[in-house]
Amino acid sequence: MRAPLSREDTVLLLYALLVGVLAALGATVYSSLLHGAEHLVWDAAPEAFGADDAPWWWVLAVLAVGAVAVWGAKTLPGHGGHHPLDGLAFDITPRMLASTLLAAFATLVCGAVVGPEAPLLAIGTSVGFWLLRPAGGERARILVISGAAAALGVVMGNPLVTGLLVLEASILRPGPGARPRRPLVQLVPVLSALGAGYLVHVGVADWPGVSVPNLTAGDLGPYPSVSVADLLTGVVVAVAAAGLVVLGTRTGERLRRVADRSPLPTIVLAGVGVGVLALVSRAITGADVDMVLFSGQTTLAGLTGVGAGSIVVIAVAKALAYALSMGGGFRGGAIFPAVFLGMAAGVAGAALVPGATVPGLAACGIAAGAAATLGMPLTSVLLAVLLTIGSGPAVTVTAILGAVLGLLVKLWLDARRDGVLPDLPGVDEAPATRE
């Protein structure tokens, strides 16, 4: 009887476990430094000169200085890593890592509206590439994907959604000439690395682990069954959430052309523009600038305490800041702000429509926003469900509604761009239309 694991597969699994632990440790250290720097810049420094909230000049100055720092990091080998509008990337090598991490660090600390997933993926893939030589050949790519999954799992909050996201991305973006792989080789090393890496986050026995803030929607209240009002309102919420995300990405694509021609002036003006949007939103709603700045990772739960009118203002400002941040040349990921915009659409819908509920529409909006940026409906549903599952399993229905409609809105808007095929994983643009 043939053994289920060959010697080579066993060696690969051992390397995957090592990659998972190293990638998670690296991502945890980076995330901790990042949150410490954010606290220093946005809380401790304003308090030092007697301000309860960051003054307007401080907001603009930090974003302008951060923009220059990102521009400087992109002059190093690696050019700051991949552009956030290019989607998830699994090819950052150790040589490119310093530039990638510095550009993302400056971006995230200064408050630009992108997520932390890109630099964490870079840490994970670099660990995989570092151990690539002993693995050799076809199996090396699995180590890279394993490292990416383990690092990203530090902030996603659950290894299941991270595993599905990375696997769905790697399968749908297999690269030119790639061949299908056996499930054992494709899945088990990634899940093994995720499990080993997640031990760093949750701890073992008496060791509590090293936790960093991750994505959470907070306590949304019970949701024992699906509300008819949620199904009807969910259609509008999903379209609104997807529309906001696509507005951000499409506007960012247009601005990117300008940034390619004049990188330094564009990124500085984009940073100042993000600051102005945050200040205007604060003046109108009274909410802190953090609601517009940053990825939304730590302010997602705070949306439930904001009025409907204020949420609309915050969401529009966030979508425009999202566009300026990505198109202007800042570095980071596109997922977390899209989740925030989806959550905002859901909470606003629940506040405006009698009989509608926050848990049902939050799940719908989150799934729609994620699907509109990722083009991955399964990952989007799982992400939305895991963020809202504390309210009850019924949120799965509205999450599926949101993911389907969010993807359809994305496809429809993609099709309206003349000569451009749908912007989905595994779907390439026609050569004649590629710029």
Domain shared by 275 and 140, yes or no = no
- Cβ atoms of 411 and 422 within 8 Å: the answer is yes
Domain shared by 260 and 402, yes or no = yes
Domain shared by 163 and 278, yes or no = no
The answer for residues whose C-beta is within 8 angstroms of residue 283's C-beta and 6 or more apart is: none
| Residue 434 burial class via C-beta count within 10 angstroms: exposed 0-12, middle 13-18, buried 19 and up | exposed
Its domain, for residue 390, covers 228-427
The answer for residues whose C-beta is within 8 angstroms of residue 97's C-beta and 6 or more apart is: 78, 122, 123, 126
Between these two residues, 399 and 6, which has the higher pLDDT value? 399
Question: CA 232 to CA 88: how far, in whole Å?
Answer: 33
Residue 157 in any domain: the answer is yes
CATH number for the domain that contains residue 29: 1.10.3080.10
**Of 187, 202, 217, which one is at a domain's C-terminal end?**
202
As a whole number, mean pLDDT of residues 191-199 equals 68
Question: CA 297 to CA 125: how far, in whole Å?
Answer: 22
Q: Can you read off the two tokens belonging to residue 277? A: 């949007």
Domain shared by 183 and 273, yes or no = no
- Cβ atoms of 172 and 425 within 8 Å: the answer is yes
Domain shared by 254 and 403, yes or no = yes
Question: CA 263 to CA 360: how far, in whole Å?
Answer: 42
Helix (H, G, I), strand (E, B) or coil at 76: coil
Domain shared by 186 and 250, yes or no = no
Q: Can you read off the two tokens belonging to residue 220? A: 């949304």
Domain shared by 188 and 240, yes or no = no
Residue 209 in any domain: the answer is no
Residue 236 in any domain: the answer is yes
The band of 188, judged by pLDDT with boundaries at 50, 70 and 90, is low
Domain shared by 189 and 246, yes or no = no
pTM over 0.85: no
Dump the DSSP string for 146-201.
Answer: HHHHHHHHHHHS-HHHHHHHHHHHHHHS--TT-----HHHHHHHHHHHHHHHHHHH
Residue 210 in any domain: the answer is no
Q: What type of residue sits at position 240?
A: A
Domain shared by 193 and 241, yes or no = no
List pLDDT tens digits, range 334-354.
Answer: 889 999 999 999 999 999 999
As a whole number, mean pLDDT of residues 412-423 equals 60
Q: Can you read off the two tokens belonging to residue 186? A: 């494709």
Domain shared by 327 and 382, yes or no = yes
Residue 268 in any domain: the answer is yes
The band of 429, judged by pLDDT with boundaries at 50, 70 and 90, is very low
As a whole number, mean pLDDT of residues 414-430 equals 51
The band of 202, judged by pLDDT with boundaries at 50, 70 and 90, is low
Domain shared by 171 and 242, yes or no = no
As a whole number, mean pLDDT of residues 281-304 equals 91
Q: Can you read off the two tokens belonging to residue 273? A: 């523009």
Question: CA 132 to CA 124: how far, in whole Å?
Answer: 12
The band of 167, judged by pLDDT with boundaries at 50, 70 and 90, is low
As a whole number, mean pLDDT of residues 382-395 equals 89
The band of 190, judged by pLDDT with boundaries at 50, 70 and 90, is low
Q: How many residues does the chain have?
A: 435
Number of domains forming the structure of the chain: 2
Residue 211 in any domain: the answer is no
Q: Which residues pair with 433 in a beta bridge?
A: none
Q: What is the pLDDT at residue 27?
A: 87
Q: What is the pLDDT at residue 269?
A: 96
Residue 217 in any domain: the answer is no
Residue 118 in any domain: the answer is yes
Name the DSSP letter for residue 88. Answer: -
Domain shared by 198 and 284, yes or no = no
